[in-house]
Structure 1
């Protein structure tokens, strides 16, 4: 793979990234399940929803590789060692909450779809796993880190939005809450640890003021990208934003629906608000 992410430079304190909207399926993937099932893992059209952001001055980083090939929003230790044909020679997570996600088949390298369908009919080699980390995870994270560092250096603070979408109803193996009907938005800051709580509430209240049903830290709190690059005490704030796909697309056909334009306009108002917000004053 030559280009694994798209980057657009910004001049504001705001950085947006989309780690799960990639649709470039690499030739070495070797998956055995049907492609339409794999595509359900994508945060479909998220890159289109936010395509206005660079023109407003926000930096933008977008993964082009698919989430099911490698999930850039997971730590490199979130490995299902049973997927490989030899012992995995690198550190592996031991945290029970992390291991629960790995057991669902949703670690750094997916083992199964959200409905539990196996992706492979073979064991992966250790070299395959290492190559995916080196060729996808590392450059993507380097790009996000560089964008956040640049924004912070310019302004003395930065706000990072980690952009996602979610199904209307939680799949059986997607979260710890199978079958749950999701809110229209979920704002996550890992229980107030990745952003100033007042900033998180500003985002929640803005979205509620637009008429949306908004949940806070449930069932999505934010994962690796907001955890790794946030430091609120140093004015580095990261929020995960999950959008219910029913607002803008048909989840079966993946086609955008009539709600797309209105949703995009409301996201533009959110970005405008954050561009005017200095979290140091909150």
Structure 2
């Protein structure tokens, strides 16, 4: 396998994870995809570009380079379902609109799947875990922001149109409630955009697994509707006119995380008893 991830280490206790922006395919997967699958419609298109300000804020940035159609970095390695409603698994066999991802009988076999788990999934999670350890060791706490995007309407998964900004905290289990409240306040102040906390998207495996507020590791996921920054149909073009107003909102979210961490993230010092 060639390079499977990109990691830029920052100088502040915030890690931005982008697991679904990758477009690389293995030869076996590429040869087996249906015409619909070849266009990679479920990619979190352009997110590294949309969040390119993050490193300037001092955040670390981790990006997966392989497509989720090879292996989904935001699913557990045992492929245990995260939602009771329809979704895709560790090794997707459908696109998010419910259509077939692979030609009949051509999905990767068990040997290939184990190879992708070992050479793509595990390196990403080792890097993610190690960076959180580094940040907590240096600062006393760590903040994880898992960045995603999705088409505004996906009838196979949900009815109607999604809110523009879908903040997920695993129903409050992955971060301190006051952190979630701070970020929700930022989203509520973003005029022209709808938002929800722990709605349809409560956070995937990354948010649920790494968010451990009792250990001072706080994780949140933001699922951003793609219509806020790009064209949702092929060729999935980035739209600067749409992206320009949403980028300050995203920047304000990351800045609010850092401000919260500065005020609340460090362990409290207990004065000695006399």
Q: Same fold (TM over 0.5)?
A: yes
Tell me the residue number matched to 2:57. Answer: 56
Tell me the residue number matched to 1:266. Answer: 249
Tell me the residue number matched to 1:222. Answer: 203
SS at 1:40 equivalent? coil
2:209 maps to 1:208: no
SS at 1:61 equivalent? strand
String of CA shifts for 1:98-127, please: whole Å, max 9, x gaps: 4756xx461100011112221222253211
SS at 1:162 equivalent? strand
Paired residues of 1:199 and 1:279 also in contact (CA < 8 A): no
Q: Distance in 1 between matches of 2:168 and 2:177?
A: 10
Taking a change above 3 Å as real, the CA distance of residues 236 and 99 of structure 1, as seen in their structure-2 partners, is: closer
Tell me the residue number matched to 2:218. Answer: 237
- 1:37 Cα offset (Å): 5.8
Q: Distance in 2 between matches of 1:167 and 1:279?
A: 34
Q: Distance in 1 between matches of 2:169 and 2:87?
A: 24
SS at 1:39 equivalent? coil
SS at 2:118 equivalent? helix
2:164 maps to 1:181: no
2:48 maps to 1:47: yes
Tell me the residue number matched to 2:3. Answer: 3
Q: Distance in 2 between matches of 1:105 and 1:236?
A: 27
Taking a change above 3 Å as real, the CA distance of residues 99 and 170 of structure 1, as seen in their structure-2 partners, is: closer
SS at 1:251 equivalent? coil
Tell me the residue number matched to 1:83. Answer: none
Q: Distance in 1 between matches of 2:88 and 2:32?
A: 15
Instruction: Let me know the Cα RMSD of the aligned residues.
Output: 1.8
Q: Distance in 2 between matches of 1:279 and 1:37?
A: 44
String of CA shifts for 1:147-206, please: whole Å, max 9, x gaps: 11111111111110000012111231xx3x2x3310010000001000011111111110
- 1:41 Cα offset (Å): 0.9
Q: Distance in 2 between matches of 1:56 and 1:77?
A: 35
- 1:28 Cα offset (Å): 2.4
Q: Distance in 1 between matches of 2:77 and 2:249?
A: 35
Tell me the residue number matched to 1:129. Answer: 113
Tell me the residue number matched to 1:106. Answer: 88
Segments of structure 1 that go 5 or more residues without pairing to the other structure are 79-92
Paired residues of 1:38 and 1:113 also in contact (CA < 8 A): no
Q: Distance in 2 between matches of 1:274 and 1:243?
A: 17
- 1:61 Cα offset (Å): 0.4
1:165 to 149, 159, 173: 149
Larger deviation, residues 110-119 vs 23-32: 23-32
Q: Distance in 1 between matches of 2:196 and 2:59?
A: 25
Tell me the residue number matched to 1:252. Answer: 233
Would you say how many aligned residue pairs link Structure 1 and Structure 2? 259
Tell me the residue number matched to 2:178. Answer: 198
- 1:265 Cα offset (Å): 2.3
- 1:278 Cα offset (Å): 2.1
Segments of structure 2 that go 5 or more residues without pairing to the other structure are 266-274
TM-score where L is the length of structure 1: 0.86
Q: Distance in 2 between matches of 1:262 and 1:45?
A: 16
